[in-house]
Amino acid sequence: MNQLNLLKQFSIVVADTSDIESICKYKPQDATTNPSLILQAVSLNKNKRFIDQAVQYANKKGGLYKDKIVNASDKILVDIGVEILKYIPGYISSEVDARLSFSTEKCILKAQKIIKLYEEQGIPRNRVLIKLASTWECIKASEELQKDDIFCNLTLLFSFAQARACAESNVFLISPFVGRIYDWYVSQNLLSTSSFEKDPGVLSVCKIYDYYKKYNYKTIIMGASFRNINQILHLSGCDRLTISPNLLKELESNTKKIKRKLIPPNVHYIPPIALSEEEFRWEHNQDAMAVEKLSEGIRNFGRDQLYLEQILAKKI
């Protein structure tokens, strides 16, 4: 049995891609997308129909020019998600515009709009996860959206304060970014070992996993943003792992035995008092890596959203 199939015995495997061929090949339970992956998808000739459909939809909806561009980009996001859902049994994660990451109200409105677009195509809301950056505002938006049975995937998660706040707000799922944490430590020359047991990205997820299971939080942990299969294998047993096609291929081609690394404790404890907004911002601010990578991630996703809108603007 190859490592991919072995890994599926310990963790739910999720495909981190918008590529249908990869999803069909590796048969993940769920799939995640982000503005960068959506941009990649619509840049391929085989996916030009999504642009045409979105432009037709936006023109039919009418409104101001800027409204048409927004409506077209939302339509592409959902249409690609609908297509992916044909090939997976679980969730599709669709991301809210990163430029809204500091407005709880705007994130709620955008999430509701995305869910409505899915439901108009016959997709129930219980198959969609709304992706939001792990800012305080987005965490609070997720808390409100759950009251309407809209569940969220809090992404760009780098600090323990973010993980705590998500659990304390009963967020459905979090995506701690293993590889980007690792990248930061490499860029700062702060890694003195190549041991994956001491990989800061891996250690971050291990700490979150142990904490969540110790206090019996129900928030799902989905390790994300991997640089190599060793990072993945050292997190076998994590609730979910979202993996890019190149690493899925490497896991499939390797038959070396693997063991479960993360195992939940049998004893649960009473959770601590929830962080206040002030405490959250202070604790998160103490982690230079997390502050830098969260800001960078929001900027980059916002940039790719803008590139997508520029492509659409030429068609509308």
Q: Which residue has the tokens 């929830």?
A: 274
Instruction: Tell me which of 68, 75, 131, 293 is the catalytic residue.
Output: 131
Q: Which among 13, 2, 22 is positioned nearest to 241, based on CA atoms?
A: 13
CA angle 100, 105, 109 (to 5 degrees): 80
Listed in sequence order, the residues at least 6 apart from 208 whose beta carbon sits closer than 8 Å to its beta carbon are 160, 163, 174, 176, 221
3-state secondary structure of 237: coil
Listed in sequence order, the residues at least 6 apart from 272 whose beta carbon sits closer than 8 Å to its beta carbon are 215
Q: Which residue has the tokens 């409505």?
A: 116
DSSP label at residue 139 = H
CA angle 94, 169, 152 (to 5 degrees): 10
3-state secondary structure of 30: strand
Residue 265 CA to chain centroid, in angstroms? 26
Residue 46 is a catalytic residue: no
Alpha-carbon distances of 92 from 46, 110, 194, 279, 304, rounded to whole Å: 21, 16, 34, 32, 20
In what helix (H) or strand (E) does residue 241 lie, and over which residues does it extend? strand 240-243
Give catalytic residue positions: 131
